[in-house]
Amino acid sequence: MASSDSFWNKRAKLSVVLIRSVCLVAVALVCSVLTVSTVRGSEHPLGDRATLIVGGSSVSIADYPYQVALVQAANDDSFQGQFCGGTLVDARWVVTAAHCVEGTNTDEPDEISVAVGKTRLTQMGPGDRYPVEAIYSHPAYNDVGNGSVTNDIALLLLALPVPPTVGTPVPWLSDSTLPGNGTPIISSGWGSTDHKTAGPFTDSLMAVTVYVDGNPYDSYFTCGSDGSFESATRLCIDSPDRKGTCSGDSGGPNVIEVSGIKYLAGVTSYGLMDSEGYCAKFQNVLARVSTYVDWIEFYVGTFRPVTPNAPAFWSPGIVPKARAQYEACPAVATIPSAGFTDLDSVDVDCIFYYGITKGKTATIYSPDDPVTRWEMALFLTRMAHVAGVPLGDGSDQGFTDISGESAEIQVAINQIRQVGVTIGKTATTFAPTSDVTREEMALFIERFLSVANAGPGGANDLVVDDDHERSSGVGVALALTDPSLIVTNYTDIDSGATYTIDSSTTHEGRNAIAHLWHMGVTSDDSSTARSYSTVYRPHEAMTRLEMAKFLARALDHTNARPKGVTLQAAQYESDGEKRVLWAGMTWPTLSVSFRDGDFMPLAGAPIDVFYYEIPEEGERFDFTTAGLCNPALDGPVAATNAGNKCSTDFNDQITDVDGNAVPTVGAIPMGKTWNIYAWTAALNTVYDKNLHQDDASRLDITTTETIRDTAEDYSFASLYNQNFDGIDLSGSSFANALITESIFSNSLLIGANFSNASGTGVLFTNAALPAADFIGATLTGAHFGGADLVGANFTNSETRGSIYIEAILQYAKFTDSDLQQSDLTLMRATGADFTGADLSQTLLTGANF
């Protein structure tokens, strides 16, 4: 390394030049302002191309499968059109230098293609080149004006994934303490092998081992004559043997090995040259990748190594586990028709009711038309009003391509940028007239929900990845360190990081789709029970009808509720259908919402809830013989003694700050039908409950379906290796029965009694067992994978070594139970009681308590 004295003494003889594509000026002190050459090679020395491998040797792409070449899309000759290098870090993501794609004639996605998989550029044909969908330069990238640059890093999103048989992503280095002084680092590329302008330029991939000069965060360290060098964001590379990078290597990979694994440590940025323009006589400078890990992972997600032969990470027939328990447009509310003549859709009626859509005209909705990005901005800002998303002022957010849109559209686009719902096609473009793809729709909705106000019965605390918990608003409560653990039925969304060879989405896009599938937002339903679509079609345009379905289901997870008082019973998914959430003798769970005429929550309102029992259809009875307000539903109520008169007071349920109340529900026998009413009025209002039935919110609940008239009695029976697969045994009794190795998979066992039953290896896979009784049962090694066990009672049971993968255990009771060595991966158990349970040595990956 040159000393500071020699630096100043040689200042007149040295110039600092960007290690980048060929510049159009043959001799220049600063190359950063120059444009990219359209021709490469020694026969066309068009200027300053400060990055190619000098002093290296030819290598095979098989040993550097992460190396890619940036090529001018308009040039069919990959050798002539190559201008920079890059590193494949995901099937659809490339890391390169920002100066390669900023202020040049390759600063738009359609001006660049990425060549992958061949050692020689001349062998790169059209099938080896991948179009670029979007460019994301670091927002703090800056050409400081003396030839050096800061934050010289960019991401390219490819339009198509690179199969692992063609290119293999390399992980980025996240340890900020590495690499240290003297660490060997391997640089590679197709740049000049000697002179920054005259070449010769290589056709074959070259690589060289150089060494890190200096340690991270050494505030006193300078890199040769580069007075602007910052060790916190850059790496200084030196070699005593005139080895290093040169013109054409810019943006390329610089990797180190840690415990035998290669990591991307630096991105080739610029180098120091003498006045004659020869490369690698002095230090080269790299962008330090570990500095930008958060930024990279925001777009790309957490790196996972590719396994070419790994099976697709999906399983047919999986049921989404986090559907909202209540709805924004429930059947109990009167949601008027939107009045469109070209379709009849409750989802379109729903979003029209909330003012999210106005239709193409007053009578035409055009359900099959694609949704443009500017339309999506309007839909989301209108949805924000009822979903509690605080919007900004809509001031200019730097999109340069929206000035031709109306003022309303411009404000909407800027507002969704302000709250993080969009990041644009690039940092400066939104592409307002482009169609929204289904992957983009998932990203829009996931980001929107992450800042929305959570509603009762929706999921919350969405974790996007290890480091980016977007907010405490709505989202899937996955409790996962890796959101890719969400298992869906889709075979076409995996981003290629570990799952499928035919990867197709970004990490963030894949995770957004998976989150929305898990929440029941994506349109995945089939008319056949337990049968689900296996494709999501991420790159197809989203139609207006599909958009309505997505937004209506997304609203269910927010605090959007109809005007006035609305009473709902919690629902859950079972056997491909939504069912009222009953469990034993203490259900359903009720939710009351109170909204004004503008859908805004009304807090502090007293709510009276009462019900009528109907033993037989059409026959009604008062809820108490004395005519008092029912304390089982309403809590302690101060009621008059005047027959049917009740009063509202502070003993009633009071709506919270979100305008909601959860009535206290007492013991209600199953096997009956109920009319339940919710009513509100000013405090201390005396009302006649019979007269107010019509203007109260009414909910009809029939529970006779949960008790089977012909239930079987297998109490104390010996049922070794019996097959009950797919049979309706709801209400049946297996109390004290021996059921070793019997099969109950896919069976309906609602309310069934397995108390004190015993056996090993029993299969309950995908069975419907809500409200089932397993009190005192001993079922070691049982398989409850995918089973519906909502409200089931396992008190004092022993299911040691059992499998509960993907099981639904909401509100189940495991008091004092033995679950040792069981696998509870991805089971959903919100509201469940594990008091005193033994969970030692259990596997809880992704389990949600």
Q: Report the distance separating Cα 408 and Cα 789, nearest Å.
A: 49
Instruction: Tell me: do 373 and 360 sit in the same domain.
Output: yes
Inside any domain, residue 317? no
Is 250 assigned a catalytic role? yes
CA distances from 540 to 425, 437, 556, 606, 614 (A): 17, 5, 25, 48, 50
CA distances from 332 to 335, 561, 617, 663, 717 (A): 9, 12, 19, 17, 44
User: Cβ atoms within 10 A of the Cβ of 444, count?
Assistant: 26
CATH of the domain at 718: 2.160.20.80
**DSSP type of residue 843:** B
Work out the average pLDDT over 75-81. Answer: 91
Residue tagged active-site, from 78, 99, 783, 802: 99
Helix (H, G, I), strand (E, B) or coil at 387: helix
pLDDT of residue 172: 92
Instruction: Tell me: do 379 and 440 sit in the same domain.
Output: yes
Q: Judge contact between 113 and 94, C-beta under 8 A.
A: no
Where residue 473 falls among pLDDT bands split at 50, 70, 90? Answer: very low
Instruction: Tell me: do 604 and 618 sit in the same domain.
Output: yes
Work out the average pLDDT over 138-143. Answer: 84
- Read off the pLDDT of residues 280-338 as tens digits, 9 standing for 90 and up: 677 888 999 998 988 887 777 665 444 333 322 222 234 455 677 788 998 777 799 99
Q: How many domains does the chain have?
A: 4
Q: How many CA atoms lie within 13 A of 150 on its CB side?
A: 11
Residue tagged active-site, from 137, 231, 250, 503: 250
pLDDT of residue 528: 30
pLDDT of residue 82: 92
Beta bridge partners of 654: 606
**pLDDT, mean over the chain:** 74
Contacts of 786 (CB under 8 A, 6+ apart): 317, 318, 319, 765, 766, 805, 806, 807
Residue 537 pLDDT more than 70?
A: yes
Instruction: Tell me: do 725 and 841 sit in the same domain.
Output: yes
428, 431, 437, 442 alpha-carbon torsion, rounded to 10°: 40
Q: Which of 556, 575, 590 is the last residue of a domain?
A: 556
326, 329, 332, 334 alpha-carbon torsion, rounded to 10°: 160
Contacts of 178 (CB under 8 A, 6+ apart): 216, 256, 258, 265, 290
Q: Which of 518, 538, 556 is the last residue of a domain?
A: 556
Region of poorest pLDDT, from 96-110, 257-271, 451-465, 740-754? 451-465
Instruction: Tell me: do 681 and 724 sit in the same domain.
Output: no
Region of poorest pLDDT, from 250-259, 451-460, 588-597? 451-460
pLDDT of residue 767: 86
Q: Report the distance separating Cα 282 and Cα 273, nearest Å.
A: 6
C-alpha closest to that of 597 among 565, 626, 627: 565
Inside any domain, residue 321? no
Region of poorest pLDDT, from 138-152, 596-610, 611-625, 736-750? 611-625
C-alpha closest to that of 271 among 147, 142, 179, 181: 147
- Read off the pLDDT of residues 783-842 as tens digits, 9 standing for 90 and up: 998 888 877 899 999 998 888 887 888 778 899 999 988 888 777 777 788 888 888 888
Q: Taking the CA atoms of the chain, what radius of gyration do you get in angstroms? A: 32
Inside any domain, residue 341? no
- Read off the pLDDT of residues 771-789 as tens digits, 9 standing for 90 and up: 788 999 999 889 998 888 8
Instruction: Tell me: do 234 and 288 sit in the same domain.
Output: yes
Residue 752 pLDDT more than 80?
A: yes
Instruction: Tell me: do 465 and 543 sit in the same domain.
Output: yes
Region of poorest pLDDT, from 45-49, 84-88, 373-377, 692-696? 45-49
Instruction: Tell me: do 693 and 606 sit in the same domain.
Output: yes
Inside any domain, residue 318? no
What pTM value is reported for the model?
0.51
Which residue in this structure is represented by tokens 């009302």? Answer: 687
C-alpha closest to that of 440 among 544, 512, 351, 520: 512
pLDDT of residue 266: 95
Q: Which of 245, 269, 300 is the last residue of a domain?
A: 300
SS (H, E, C) 571-626: EEEECCEEEECCCCCCCCCEEEEEECCCCCECCCCEEEEEEEEECCCCCCCCCCCC
CA distances from 429 to 107, 378, 397, 423 (A): 12, 17, 10, 9
Is 366 assigned a catalytic role? no
- Read off the pLDDT of residues 539-559 as tens digits, 9 standing for 90 and up: 889 999 999 999 999 999 889
Q: Report the distance separating Cα 807 and Cα 786, nearest Å.
A: 4
Residue 728 pLDDT more than 90?
A: no
Q: Judge contact between 283 and 483, C-beta under 8 A.
A: no
Where residue 625 falls among pLDDT bands split at 50, 70, 90? Answer: very low
CATH of the domain at 695: 2.60.40.1930
Q: Report the distance separating Cα 163 and Cα 540, nearest Å.
A: 20
User: Cβ atoms within 10 A of the Cβ of 535, count?
Assistant: 12
CATH of the domain at 213: 2.40.10.10
Work out the average pLDDT over 447-466. Answer: 62
Where residue 525 falls among pLDDT bands split at 50, 70, 90? Answer: very low
Is 99 assigned a catalytic role? yes
Q: Give 330 or 18, the one with higher predicted confidence.
A: 330
Q: Judge contact between 612 and 622, C-beta under 8 A.
A: yes
pLDDT of residue 565: 86
Domain of residue 365 covers 346-556
Inside any domain, residue 309? no
CA 448-593-353 angle, 5° bins:
60
C-alpha closest to that of 505 among 318, 306, 301: 301
Region of poorest pLDDT, from 347-361, 416-430, 759-773? 759-773
**Amino acid occupying residue 50:** A
Inside any domain, residue 274? yes
What would the DSSP string read from start to end of 663-712? PPP----SS-EEEEEEEE-STT-EEETTTTTTTSEEEEEE-GGGS-TT--
User: Cβ atoms within 10 A of the Cβ of 144, count?
Assistant: 12
Peptide bond into 615 cis (omega under 30): no
Where residue 651 falls among pLDDT bands split at 50, 70, 90? Answer: low
Q: What would the two tokens of residue 519 be?
A: 């929440």
Region of poorest pLDDT, from 80-84, 149-153, 669-673? 669-673
- Read off the pLDDT of residues 156-189 as tens digits, 9 standing for 90 and up: 988 777 887 889 999 999 888 889 888 999 999 9
Inside any domain, residue 751? yes
Instruction: Tell me: do 669 and 724 sit in the same domain.
Output: no
Instruction: Tell me: do 67 and 77 sit in the same domain.
Output: yes
Residue tagged active-site, from 152, 203, 238, 349: 152
Residue 30 pLDDT more than 60?
A: no
Where residue 766 falls among pLDDT bands split at 50, 70, 90? Answer: confident
Instruction: Tell me: do 711 and 701 sit in the same domain.
Output: no
What percentage of the chain has pLDDT greater than the value 90? 28
Contacts of 57 (CB under 8 A, 6+ apart): 206, 207, 208
Instruction: Tell me: do 712 and 689 sit in the same domain.
Output: no
